[in-house]
Amino acid sequence: MRASDVKRAFRYRFYPSDAQAGELSRTFGCVRKVYNLALAARTQAWARQVRVNYNQTSAMLTDWKKTGELAYLNEVSSVPLQQALRHLQVAFTNFFAKRAKYPRFKSRKKSRRSAEYTASAFRFRDGELTLAKMAEPLDIVWSRPLPEGAAPSTVSVSQDAAGRGYVSLLCEDPSVQPLPATDAAIGIDAGLDHLLTLSTGEKISNPRHERRDRARLAKAQRRLARKAAGDGANRAKARRKVARVYARIADRRRDHLHKLTTRLVRENQTIVIEDLAVGNMVKNGSLARAISDAAWSQLRSMLEYKAQWYNREVIAVDRWFPSSKLCSACGSLQRKMPLHVRTWTCDCGTTHDRDVNAAKDILAVGLTASVCGAGVRPQRKTPGGQSATKQKPLQREP
C-alpha cells in the first residue's frame, strides 16, 4: 500500500457553544429519523420482494421534507441526512453479502449520536473547522497536529453517552510508510489470566480495566437505580455519571491496545492469531464480563488494519486447532488436557507451559498455511476418536 493511499481519522475533543450544541442536537435527531424512515421503507419493500436502493431513498427524503409533519428536516444541513442514507445502503450491502446482520433501527436513548459532513458542508481554514448551519468554528482541542497540508475529506461529529463531543477528520496521512521487511514472526495465544502469551515465551498481563473501576461503577449504578423512571433531570444526571465511568474504562482499554498492537506490528513481519468466536464465548455468564474486558475482537481489528498500513501479515488460525494439547517439540497430541493443568510433560520428555506451547503451535501452523496456501482447520477427531477441540484456559472471574 502506498503512503498516499492511507487515510486516517484524527479524533479530537471539542466543546460546543449553546447555539452549536442545539444545532448538533437537532442534526443528530434528524439523522436518526431519516435513517429509521428509510429503513422502514426498505423493510416494507423487502416484504413485498422489492428492492429499494439509495437513489430511491434519496427521492423519498425530498418528498418527506415537503410534508408538514417532517418539514423540520429542512432546518438542518441536508448533507448529514444524505450520508445517513448512504450508511444505510452500506449496511444493506453488507447484509446481502452475509457480512453483517439485518440493519436495526436507531434508538433515541441507546444509539450513538453522530452526523457525517462531506466537503461541501464544512469549511476548514487556518486550523479552524466550521460546520454548515453554524456561524462560528468549533472550539476544538488540537491534542495532536494534523498531517502537514492535510485537507479533510469528511468530518464526523459525535457525542458519547457521557455527553462528550468528538470531531473526527478523515485525512490522507503521508507519514504512514511501509516498514522494512523482517524475518521476525510471532504466534499469539489469547487468555484471561494473561491477555496475550507470545511464542517467544513473553506473557503480557491483563490490565483488567473494568475490574479496577468496578466499585466506582457499582456505586454509580446504584445511584441510577434509585432514581425514579420519570425523575427527568436527576435520572439523566445519574445516567451520565454511569456513562463517564464506562467511558473511562473504554479509553484506558483502547489506549493500552493501541500501544500493544503498534509494538507487535512494528517488531514482527508475520503475526499469527486465533480466530476466536468471541460472540459465542460471551454467552458464558460467569466469564462474559472478563471476556468483554479483554476486548480480543478490538485487538484483532487493530492488528489487521495496522498490518495493512505497514506491509505486515496477520494470519488467523482456526479456532478448533488443538494448540494446547499438541506438543510443539514432537507433534504428539494429548488425549486430555484439563483446564487446571498449566504445565505438562510430553512423552518425549519436554515440559511445556500450556500457554507458551499453544502460542508456538499457533505460529507453526500459521506459517505452514502461509507457505503452502492450505487451510489451517485440522480434523476434529484424533485417530483414536478423541475430540481435538481446543480447550481454552479460562478461569472463573472473581
Q: What is the 3-state secondary structure (H, E, C) of 129-181?
A: EEECCCCCCCCEECCCCCCCCCCCCEEEEEECCCCCEEEEEEEECCCCCCCCC
- Rounded to the nearest 5 degrees, what angle is found at the Cα of 11, between the Cα atoms of 6 and 12? 145
The predicted pLDDT at position 377 comes to 44
What's the pLDDT score for residue 108? 87
H or E element that contains 44? helix 18-47
Residue type, 141: V
The number of beta carbons lying within 10 Å of the beta carbon of residue 82 is 18
Per-residue pLDDT tens digits for 23-76 = 999 999 999 999 999 999 999 998 999 989 999 999 999 999 999 999 999 999
Grid coordinates of 180: 522494512
List, as one string, the DSSP characters of 214-243.
HHHHHHHHHHHHHS-TT-HHHHHHHHHHHH
C-alpha cell at 144: 495532536
Q: What does residue 68 show for φ and ψ, rounded to 5 degrees?
A: -65, -35
pLDDT tens digits, one per residue of 177-227: 899 999 999 999 998 889 999 999 999 999 999 999 999 999 999 999 998
Q: What is the pLDDT of residue 372?
A: 57
Calpha distance 343→352 (Å, rounded): 5
Q: Identify the CA nearest to 329 among candidates 311, 352, 306.
A: 352
User: What pLDDT is attached to residue 398?
Assistant: 38
Residue 348 has what pLDDT? 86
Catalytic positions: 189, 274, 355
Distance of alpha carbon 121 from the chain centroid: 27
Low-confidence ranges of the chain (pLDDT < 50): 1, 3, 374-398
Q: How far apart are the C-alpha atoms of 346 and 355, rounded to whole Å? A: 15
CB proximity list for 365: less than 8 A, separation 6 or greater: 272, 317, 321, 323, 376
Q: Which residue has the cell 433531570?
A: 233
Position 223 scores a pLDDT of 93
The CA–CA distances, whole Å, from 193 to 44, 132, 395 equal 48, 50, 7
